[in-house]
Amino acid sequence: MNLAIIDYGSGNLRSVENAFKNSVKNNNLNFTIQVTNKLDLISKADHFVLPGVGSFPDCKKGLDDIEGLVELLRTEVINKRKKFLGICVGMQLMVDFSLEKKRTKGFCWLEGHFKKIKTKGLDYLGRKYKIPHMGWNNLQIDYNNHPVLENISENEQFYFVHSYALDCRQTNQIIANTNYSHKIPAIIGKENYIGVQFHPEKSGNSGQKFIYNWLKWSP
Amino acid sequence: MLSTRVIACLDVHNGRTVKGINFINLKDAGDPVEQAKKYSTIGADEICFLDISATHEKRRAMFNVISKTAESCFVPLTVGGGVNNINDFRDLLNSGADKVSINSSAVYNPNLIKESSDKFGNQCVVLAIDATENINMPSGYEITTHGGRKKTNLDALKWAKQGEKNGAGEILLTSMGSDGTKKGYNLKLTRLIAENVSIPVIASGGAGSPKDMVEVVLKAGASAVLAASIFHYGIHTIHSVKKHMFNNGIFVRECDQNE
């Protein structure tokens, strides 16, 4: 199998590459991993990971600057149904638009938009809810028995760092939520493409389990 | 529910972990790559490297340490020390750091916070604040640099708010009066900053026991606690700290019970 991690200038490519390589090695999976922005290499890959840190408009611009990339991803993922994982801003890009800094259009593969997290009141220890939502948090699993969540319980935690959260009407595209003052979608997706708001590459053993599940998932 | 983070910090000098009080009598204390890996395995929620190398040349060793650590350490990694400009910032991120903390350079070049958060996102910009008591300041605390040796005439609270406005994603707050004393964090200072900014505040400086960590969370509202020496000397483990926090009603990420 051939996995392409899309390189469009986003900051944490190395971390993502390291974490996926570690999972492939530890589980003896037959995967070749490439970090690339070359369209011909991307079209030859079987699976895609789209990382993303920074702001939504900056990430979108990084992608748009590689001519034909966004269209190619649509063909490969939506038409040819190749497996896709969006991480953090990579996940945010999968929906209609984001309101970060200015209204910016996403891929429109899933319904909804991102808006600034609004928190109410104080947390259970009387502390202010801080923004970004930063640190380790649990999942509340909505979609039971999804293959990417195999052997992952609601007691486990994943590393989040974000200030914008998905607002959507189609709740059937939500696989899991997290809770920070209110429910925040943590895993979204449909058929062969999913997106995670947290960073599996920085989520210790739980993150490694998730990456392994995603790698062996055959939608 | 969001866990309160426990962060393990390592002082790195010429690519090796060192121990010493106030940067004097530094003793070699091993390989930071192995130690970071160990801390992440036994439940540290984040790892923080503070580069105390004196020269730019010797800093090169740090990039190697970071890139090796990032290969096997799958929790967030913050690196600070000697970050003077946007190029230093980029080099650290490219080596594999997830966040970069800036301290003195933010004081002398306030634009660096804005520049780096615009460029790389506020999630990776940690504003490190070293504060010391000064009754002549409006908030009662003054910003110091160079390990507390230089005064700046900047008010700590005003500086923290300004840092947030310029795009810092969190604040690493060290009380210079408490650092290295093992007598507990400065609760008054931590509460002052935590209550008045909207970004997370990491309490640092003075941790001597798990009790101190509980106090700074419950009484001062810290989002995370950072400690160095109490973990290195094996007095307390990440697990014993987390267990004590949990027993006092603070939600923490589970860690390996066997360690």
Tens digit of each residue's pLDDT (9 = 90 or more) over A55-70: 899 999 999 999 999 9
Name which of A128, A198, A201, A210 to mutate to probe chain B: the one with the most chain B Cβ atoms within 10 A of its Cβ.
Answer: A128
What does the pLDDT look like over A113-137, one tens digit per residue?
A: 999 999 988 999 999 999 999 999 9
CB contact under 8 A, A126 and B221: yes
Which pLDDT value is given to residue B20?
A: 64
| Residue B235 or residue A34, greater confidence | A34
Nearest CB to B123 within list A53, A156, A179: A53
Which pLDDT value is given to residue B23?
A: 55
Question: At A18, which helix (H) or strand (E)?
Answer: helix A13-26
What does the pLDDT look like over A207-216, one tens digit per residue?
A: 999 999 999 9
CB contacts of B123 in chain A (<8 Å) are 53-54, 132, 134, 161-162
Residue A20 contacts residue B74 (beta carbons within 8 Å):
no
CB contacts of B172 in chain A (<8 Å) are none
Examine residue A132 and say whether the peptide bond preceding it is cis (omega within 30 degrees of 0). yes
CATH topology of domain B5-247: TIM Barrel (3.20.20)
ipTM for the assembly: 0.94
The whole-model pTM stands at: 0.95
Which pLDDT value is given to residue A78?
A: 97
The reply to whether B148 touches chain A by the CB within 8 Å rule is no
**Residues A88, A133, A156, A162: which is the catalytic one?**
A88
Range of the domain at A34: 2-216
pLDDT at A10 exceeding the cut of 90: no
In percent, the amount of chain A with pLDDT more than 90 equals 92
Contacts of A117 (CB under 8 A, 6+ apart): A131, A133, A162, A163, A164, A165, A180, A181, A184
The reply to whether A126 touches chain B by the CB within 8 Å rule is yes
Task: Report the distance separating Cα A125 and Cα B213, nearest Å.
Answer: 14
* DSSP sequence for B143-170: EEETTTTEEEEEEHHHHHHHHHHHT-SE
Which pLDDT value is given to residue B257?
A: 45
Q: How far is A79 from chain B (nearest CA, A)?
A: 33
Which pLDDT value is given to residue B55?
A: 65
Which pLDDT value is given to residue B258?
A: 40
For residue A159, which phi and psi values (nearest 5 degrees)? -90, 120
The CA-atom distances, in angstroms, between A65 and each of A9, A14, A53, A109 are 10, 21, 17, 20
pLDDT at A20 exceeding the cut of 80: yes
What does the pLDDT look like over A150-209, one tens digit per residue?
A: 999 999 999 999 999 999 999 999 999 999 999 999 999 999 999 999 999 999 999 999
Residues of chain B with pLDDT under 50: 257-259
* DSSP sequence for B51-71: E--SSHHHHHHHHHHHHHHHH
| Residue A74 or residue B120, greater confidence | A74
What does the pLDDT look like over B22-73, one tens digit per residue?
A: 556 677 888 999 999 999 999 999 999 988 876 666 677 889 999 999 998 9
What's the mean pLDDT in A73-80? 97
Domain boundaries, chain B: 5-247
Which pLDDT value is given to residue B22?
A: 55
CATH number of the structural domain spanning residue A106: 3.40.50.880
CB contacts of A131 in chain B (<8 Å) are 198-199
